[in-house]
Structure 1
Amino acid sequence: MAGPAFRAAAVRVRVPATSANLGPGFDAFGLALGLYDDVVVRVADSGLHIDIAGEGADTLPRDDGHLLVRSLRTTFDLLGGQPRGLEVVCANRIPHGRGLGSSSAAICAGIVAAAAVTTGAEARLDEVAMLELATEIEGHPDNVAACLLGGFTLAWTESGSARAVRMEPSTALVPIAFVPAEPLLTQTARGLLPATVPHVDAVANAGRSALLVEALTRRPELLMPATEDRLHQEYRAPAMPRSAELVNRLRLDGVPSVISGAGPTVLALTDIGNADKVAGMADQDWAAYRLTLDLEGASVLPLDPGGTPQ
């Protein structure tokens, strides 16, 4: 059986940062944010060449150990075979190890780019299949669903397969990400979670999660009660005390705030009238990113004249 055919032209893929959990929606909710990594991939005659600019330029591997390349390879295998060579250029803006979905962005970029350079890939790798593949690589669907689909997503697994629905977030929302200098490993944060939680806490989170759907899509005035959590944030606080303190301080000031993903970034949800004030509420040890909501998800974009991401 013949292997796949590859396009000669390079492709450019843009993937958004994401914030998972959003308080009570542990391992289920995701929100796509207007902070992007760009990747250009071209099938070459031989070898593997990787250029990296921005986040991770001094630390990421430039071989098959790179998560983006592993995702490209996994997708090519699914599509029928590997190209002879690859040239990959990365412009990374999503902070690494901060709870903003940098690994999900790399995974989704690899999947989308591999499909884009493979002739006829759309017949074998539709949106549902991409979500399942991304979840298989990442291990859980919350961040990858938001990265692929954009907007506000609810993800779950059904009969062993990942599923997600996309919802339109309120246009009144302005996300502010407070990013600390030091990263935190997701494995460290997950290791602090208990095996069981009190029934009353599970009930509380179920109600708050349902309310959060209404608050994020139609009634932002409900975000304070809707972002209350009892399942993970307090348990993880010892690993990120400054993040926990900032969440508490912002909430005391009436700003709906949560730990972004596994942390240590803090995500505040405000409106345009208060965005500047909220962005100035943390001290200089935090980098405050005033962001937009991403509504497109992972996208294949035209190349700039130089063939590199901007």
Structure 2
Amino acid sequence: MQNNQQIVVKVPATTANLGPGFDCLGMALNLYNEIHMSLAPSTTIIVEGQGADNISTDESNIVWQAARRVYEKLALPMPQISLKLVNQIPTSRGLGSSAAAIVGGLVAANQLAGNQLSQEELLALATEMEGHPDNVAPALLGGIVISVVAEGKVHYLRLEPPEDLSTVVAIPDFELSTRAAREVLPQLVSLQEAIFNLSRTALMVGALCQKRLDLLTVAAQDVLHQPYRAPLVPGLVQVIEAAQRAGALGVMLSGAGPTVIALTGNCQEEVAAVMEKTFLESGVKCHTKILKPIVDGAVVL
């Protein structure tokens, strides 16, 4: 392998849960981070774009950590590498920035080391690093992914998103760590709440498979995590209701939040304006993006 070979990997943002599918549903979106990786005389890490001011540039960097996991898996010494991260995905907002970093680091390092690990092996490493597969699976595989960890193995089904499905993401101007958002969740839920989410998760998957976008309003409902996280995101309930009145098909927290994602048909501009206005009425500045679900996950350019 030539020392000057540069690997460039493009990894998409992801939205997890899709309402009721807590820790098991995720979808890739057309907002990207790029990882540039090459062998070098000494390790250097440069971060551009989102998170440039607070992402570490030493060996605690999550992309570097992911690269090291690949070399450990291959029983090879970790080489000195040059890393440049060009980030469009905002950090700690519920759009899979850490998943993109992990998947990008794994895919780039695997390519640099001769492409010896399979997609399944990369997914297993990514899930091990992230702790759950709901974001890393669509970041790696693209599309909509249902994922389950059983006996240490990730089992998944990948669906093609409906072509006429679009999304609006309202991204508040504050960060919310996944850890903080998990700490507010109860350890036990009632049978009624379990049935509520099970039925809607099944309906969500069926609606996406059969392109029944009219069912998404009911399918997007959740009682397992959103009610408990609402106090962490001022205006959440009002934003969801306002976006639905503006024509959104289903509205929910993206991952652990604070981003709110609306699944839409062709009323994106109206929904975006209403979400921004309603957040502002609760004292939260945000910016909106219209994003499309995508079929491709991480790609080596």
What TM-score does the superposition give when structure 1 sets the normalisation length? 0.91
> Are residue 149 (structure 1) and residue 141 (structure 2) matched?
yes
Q: CA deviation at 1:253?
A: 4.3
In structure 1, what is the equivalent of residue 13 of structure 2?
17
Structure 2 match to 1:268: 262
Which amino acid is the alignment partner of residue 166 of structure 2?
Answer: V
Deviations 1:231-272 (A, max 9, x none): 11001111112233312332344421000000000000101x
Q: Provide the rounded CA distance (Å) in 2 between the counterparts of 1:219 and 1:132.
A: 32
Letter in 2 for 1:35: L
Partner of 2:271: 278
What is the aligned-residue RMSD (CA, Å)?
A: 1.4
CA contact (8 A) 2:246 2:270 kept: no
Amino acid at match of 1:187: R
Query: Quick one: which amino acid aligns to residue 186 of structure 2?
Result: P
* Greater mean alpha carbon deviation, residues 277-286 or residues 246-255: 246-255
Separation in structure 1 between the aligned mates of residue 258 and residue 78 of structure 2, nearest angstrom: 38
Deviations 1:135-177 (A, max 9, x none): 0000001000010010100011111222221101101111111
Which of 30, 50, 56 aligns to 2:51? It is 56
Quick one: distance in 2 between partners of 1:250 and 1:89? 38
Distance 1:216 1:102, change over 3 A: same
Helix, strand or coil at the partner of 1:58: coil
Tell me, what secondary structure is at the counterpart of 2:22?
A: strand
- Among the aligned pairs, what percent are the same residue? 39
CA distance in 1, matches of 2:180, 2:237: 16
Which consecutive residues of structure 2, in runs of 5 or more, have no partner in the other structure? none
- Corresponding position of 1:305: none
Distance change in 2, residues 1:254/1:200 (3 Å): farther
Could you tell me how far 1:69 is from its partner in structure 2? 0.7
Match of 1:259 among 245, 253, 256: 253
Moved more, 158-167 or 131-140: 158-167
Is 1:78 matched up with 2:70? no
Q: Is the 8 A contact 1:43 1:83 kept in 2?
A: no
Distance 2:118 2:88 in 1: 27
Task: Please say if residues 68 and 78 of structure 2, whose CA atoms lie closer than 8 Å, have aligned partners that are also in contact.
Answer: no
Distance 2:82 2:251 in 1: 40
- Partner of 1:294 in structure 2? 294
DSSP 3-state at the match of 1:142: coil
Separation (CA, whole Å) in 2 of partners of 1:58 and 1:8? 28
Counterpart in the other structure of 2:100: 105
Structure 1, 233-242 or 142-151: larger mean CA deviation: 233-242
The SS at the match of 1:145 is helix
- Cα distance in 2, alignment partners of residues 82 and 18 from structure 1: 32
Segment of structure 1 superposing worse, 240-249 or 26-35: 240-249
> Aligned pair in 2 of structure 1 residues 229, 172: CA closer, same or farther (>3 Å)?
same
Pair 1:127-2:119 in alignment: yes
Alignment of 1:142-181 (within 5 A): 142-181=134-173
1:246 aligns with 2:246: no
Give, in angstroms, the shift of residue 15 of structure 1.
Answer: 0.3
Q: Is the 8 A contact 1:11 1:42 kept in 2?
A: yes
2:222 alignment partner in structure 1: 229
The answer on 1:26 being equivalent to 2:29 is no
Q: Aligned partners of 2:76, 2:27: CA distance in 1, in Å?
A: 33
Q: How many residues align?
A: 292
Q: Say if 2:35 and 2:85, in contact at 8 Å, map to a contact too.
A: yes
The answer to whether structure 1 residue 137 and structure 2 residue 129 are counterparts is yes
SS in 1 for 2:28: strand
How much has 1:84 moved relative to structure 2? 3.2
SS of equivalent to 2:292: coil
Runs of 5+ consecutive residues of structure 1 not aligned to the other structure: 302-310
- CA deviation string 1:29-87 (max 9, x = no partner): 0010000001110011x321111110111111111011111111111111222343100
